[in-house]
Amino acid sequence: MSSVVLTFAHAGLLSTSETTPDRTNVQLYEEGIRLLGNKDYDKAIITFSQALAQGSTEIGVLVARGRAYYELHRYSEALNDVSKALREKPNHIYGLFLRAAIYDRSGRTLDAVKDLSTVLLMDPQNVTAYGFRGAAYSTLNLWNDALSDYNRAAALGDHSHLLYKNRAVVHENLGNYDLAVGDLSRSLELKPGDEGLLSHRSWMYLCLSDLAKGLEDLNTLIIQNPNDMRARVRRGWAYLAMKKFSAAVSDLSYAIERKAELPLAYLNLAAVYYETGDLERAFTVNAKVFLLHEPQYLVDALFQKGLILLAMNKDEESRALYSQGRSLAEKNSDLSRLEYGIEELREALKGAKARPQTAEPILRSLQEAKRTMNPSSDASNYACRRLIL
């Protein structure tokens, strides 16, 4: 899943025009600003400190030094300077933005939201504050609030590639994959060929089961970077879904040979062999997932192994694996993977790859577990869930 990106620097807020002092050692201040502009942050701190040592109590000097500390990731010192300035002038917009950025980098996202909300109370048309707060809401998984802020920023004239990129993440998490595609396409118009945008859009196309368009983006990515292993594995899955099994094996094996994206590559390769009836090979490849000791994929591997054993008529072993996978999914509240296991079993029954007398009780057991769990929060549908495998 893609992440939201909106840093203080991206927002264009690190100019220093708002911090110009009215009464202090102007020469020292201007030298500090020059050093800040040249990214010589240590010397800028020394210069601003000299101004303060000479008796300046100017808010602008404190904020500017806080900015230099921020750039050096010295967030505690940055927060001290900016908070001191804001105690003197609570409505200092640049200071509020800077403190919000410090809070964001320090993991205090709710505090960042509060400062940005204060900015918006003073300036309801501040497009940058809406964009920045939208990113903060996304960090908090408050997707509807994030969408509202991004929409407001767009209505106020923010048509940047970054806004479209970030709003696409929100649409994805709300399950609106078609809207995500629309925003990613707009972002790509502004930033053609961007690999991150192409990768995200390919994912959304595949979640929409638009395999042809997803494949087109993946082909573009691999042409631009033949060693993009994530794109290779996703394309392998797309070929699997299109029943182009030789092409799927080629892409997945390419990734495995380079020891890249191994859990996903092994799971998908095992799925290819399962679909083509090569159950012994499917079993062997699936076993390699367990050797990686990656807990994130353990439920997937257990359900897949159980499915393979069902097709091999090893009913007792299969039941034990499904029971283990169900227990782990319940323990982790992992409804998404449980739903995937249910759908795979249904497909196996439809395709006569599992004996009903064994598979149907297992299916009922998984469905019972699903009923006791909370509704899925990630809005993933079955097509999108398959991509994780």
The reply to whether 252 falls in a domain is no
Looking up residue 116, the CATH number of its domain turns out to be: 1.25.40.10
The reply to whether 281 falls in a domain is no
Instruction: Show the domain range for 25.
Output: 1-127
The reply to whether 70 falls in a domain is yes
The reply to whether 368 falls in a domain is no
| pLDDT string in tens for the chain (389-residue length) | 344 433 443 333 344 444 555 445 788 888 999 999 999 999 999 999 998 888 655 788 999 999 999 999 999 999 999 999 999 999 999 999 999 999 999 999 999 999 999 999 999 999 999 999 999 999 999 999 999 999 999 999 999 999 999 999 999 999 999 999 999 999 999 999 999 999 999 999 999 999 999 999 999 999 999 999 999 999 999 999 999 999 999 999 999 999 988 899 999 999 999 999 999 999 999 999 999 999 999 999 999 999 999 999 999 999 999 999 999 999 998 888 999 899 999 999 999 999 999 999 999 999 999 998 866 444 445 456 555 44
The reply to whether 64 falls in a domain is yes
Token reading at 207: 């979640």
Alpha-carbon torsion (239, 242, 247, 250), positive or negative? positive
Per-residue exposure over 171-180, b if at least 16 CB sit within 10 Å of its own CB, e if not = bbbebbbebb
Per-residue exposure over 144-166, b if at least 16 CB sit within 10 Å of its own CB, e if not = ebbbbbbebbbeeebebbbbbbb
Alpha-carbon torsion (194, 199, 204, 209), positive or negative? positive
Query: Tell me, what DSSP letter sits at residue 374?
Result: P
DSSP letter string, 231-274: HHHHHHHHHHHTT-HHHHHHHHHHHHHTT-SHHHHHHHHHHHHH
The reply to whether 376 falls in a domain is no
Per-residue exposure over 53-73, b if at least 16 CB sit within 10 Å of its own CB, e if not = eeebebbbbbbbbbbbbbbee
The reply to whether 220 falls in a domain is no
Q: How many domains does the chain have?
A: 1
The reply to whether 144 falls in a domain is no
- Cβ atoms of 62 and 81 within 8 Å: the answer is yes
Alpha-carbon torsion (230, 234, 236, 237), positive or negative? positive
